[in-house]
């Protein structure tokens, strides 16, 4: 017979092992290095697999290709580039995507974008990837096509997605569309104005103008001025590098950071 104290220790050890195993299945064992980039035609088979694995709304490959060719600036994928390759020809694993487009004939006559589909593999959730994919696509809609807002539909039963759209990304619920999905479930129609991106651009332009005026009025001249300009130019180059993301880093951490700011 085991002493009660020894028995308690064995139970604690087995419980810890079970918890560790559960965490290993629910999240990557090690922090992964992610790359968020534009969707390529070669990514479509993996994107389709991600869609089939996670969502009931599935599409043919030609539908993904239609988005990729018609609006090549709007759809993005999250790629786990830290995953070891089995052969030199292995493609990096796509673990998430956002499929987006511009509405070709908007009923309201206002230029706007639409999120067709968004999905992240369960093994790579809670890393902020869905938020980053969405924000990247929204900015591209505004900068490339001058979109004034972005719309999407979400199942009324999908509480997690609704929280992401409303609480994190700032979408507003515009009402319910009855029987929107093929199985008869209703959808919430959501919308987010993109005016804030125009305000950000104006703020950046104002900051740039202020910096230029300061240099003209008080900048050093001669060799000292040239040295300072060279130093400033070296510091201003954005040396983008991949950084590790993981559960411990938090949702807000960017996938790419300025090397000087990291």
Cα–Cα distance, 167 to 201 (Å, whole number): 24
Cα–Cα distance, 114 to 210 (Å, whole number): 36
Question: Average pLDDT in the 205-232 region?
Answer: 56
Closest CA to 125 of 163, 91, 151, 154: 163
Is residue 99 within 8 Å of residue 118, measured between CB atoms? yes
Closest CA to 176 of 168, 164, 186: 186
pLDDT range class, residue 107, cuts 50, 70, 90:
confident
Share of the chain above pLDDT 70, in %: 65
Question: Average pLDDT in the 123-135 region?
Answer: 95
Instruction: Give the Cβ contact number of residue 50 at 10 Å.
Output: 23
User: Domains plus CATH for the chain?
Assistant: 26-201 (3.40.630.30)
Q: What is the pLDDT of residue 228?
A: 55
The pairing of beta strand 149-155 with beta strand 112-120: parallel
Residue 116 gets the label, from left (phi > 0), alpha (psi -120 to 50) or beta, of: alpha
Is residue 188 within 8 Å of residue 175, measured between CB atoms? yes
Q: What is the pLDDT of residue 200?
A: 77
59-69 pLDDT per residue, tens: 999 999 999 99
Instruction: Give the Cβ contact number of residue 47 at 10 Å.
Output: 25
29-42 pLDDT per residue, tens: 455 689 999 999 99
Q: What is the pLDDT of residue 212?
A: 58
Q: Give the global pTM.
A: 0.66
* pLDDT-wise least confident of 82-96, 119-133, 175-189, 246-260: 246-260
| Average pLDDT over all residues of the chain | 78
């Amino acid at each position: 017979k085991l002493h009660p104290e020894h028995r308690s220790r064995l139970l604690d050890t087995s419980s810890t092992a079970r918890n560790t195993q559960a965490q290993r299945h629910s999240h990557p064992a090690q922090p992964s290095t992610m790359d968020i980039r534009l969707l390529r035609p070669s990514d479509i088979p993996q994107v389709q697999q991600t869609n089939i694995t996670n969502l009931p709304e599935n599409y043919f490959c030609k539908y993904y290709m239609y988005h990729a060719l018609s609006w090549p600036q709007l759809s993005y994928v999250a790629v786990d580039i830290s995953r070891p390759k089995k052969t030199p020809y292995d493609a990096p694993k796509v673990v998430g995507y956002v499929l987006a487009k511009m509405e070709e004939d908007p009923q309201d006559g206002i230029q706007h974008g639409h999120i067709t589909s968004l999905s992240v593999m369960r093994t790579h959730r809670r890393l902020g990837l869905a938020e980053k994919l969405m924000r990247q696509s929204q900015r591209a809609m505004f900068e490339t096509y001058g979109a004034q807002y972005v719309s999407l539909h979400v199942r009324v039963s999908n509480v997690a997605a609704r929280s992401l759209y409303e609480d994190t990304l700032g979408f507003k619920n515009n009402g319910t569309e009855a029987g929107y999905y093929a199985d008869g479930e209703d959808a919430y129609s959501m919308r987010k104005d993109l005016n804030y991106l125009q305000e950000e651009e104006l703020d950046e332009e104002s900051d740039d103008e202020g910096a230029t005026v300061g240099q003209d009025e008080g900048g050093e001249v001669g060799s000292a001025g040239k040295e300072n300009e060279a130093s400033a130019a070296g510091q201003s180059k954005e040396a983008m590098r991949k950084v590790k993301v993981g559960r411990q880093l938090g949702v807000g951490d960017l996938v790419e950071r300025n090397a000087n700011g990291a």
